[in-house]
Amino acid sequence: MQITIDSANVKKFENGKVTIDLNPEQLAALTCSNKVELSTLKPGDEFKLGDEAFIVMEHTDRGTRVISKEFAYEGVKFGNNSNWNTSLIRKMFNNEYFEKIAAIIGKNNIISMDRDLTSLDGLDDYGTCTDKVSLLTAMEYAKYHKILGLKSNYPNWWWLITPASTPSNNYARRVCYVGSSGILDQNGCDCACGVRPFLNLESSISVLLNKD
């Protein structure tokens, strides 16, 4: 892309730097030059939807799985128990947060995911569910750990979807989370924690590369 600099658009020249004004067409062209098809990005690459950055986890035959780079929410309780089906986060994700992302890329480009709510100790009381927006399971975190980065230093711990155990084992409140150092642990469902949305997107959409 070429942008002509002349007396009409030069705004300021100071300390060897030129500041220019761009018209709407130039701004649009400049933004599009940083856009790529999501399918061309590799695991670990980053892109933006609106003002939110995401990391590519993997490409599948049913879309591209991504997770928010930063916490979309902080200080959020999981819910009244360890069951994701009734979690406060799940309600928030599949309503206001879904609508926020859908406004950017379209509802049809957010693909539903089947979620396994098997507990860390192998119990299936909570069964499965389907989400448009979700959290990672403990097994998914283990799978993507290297992509997310080792020797982590997160500003806070963040929730996963996996319960530590279930009511059939007389244990219905503790849920897995990722500690600030990246270590997998568990805590009570009424504790306040960070949240990183996990989504499955249509691989053919255009996204803006994150260069921050």
| Global confidence as pTM | 0.83
User: How does pLDDT run across 50-104, given as a tens digit for each residue?
Assistant: 999 999 999 999 999 999 999 999 999 999 999 999 999 999 999 999 999 999 9
User: How does pLDDT run across 127-184, given as a tens digit for each residue?
Assistant: 999 999 999 999 999 999 999 999 888 989 999 999 999 999 999 999 999 999 999 9
Q: How far apart are CA 112 and CA 132, in angstroms?
A: 5
Amino acid 22: pLDDT: 60
pLDDT value at 197 more than 60? yes
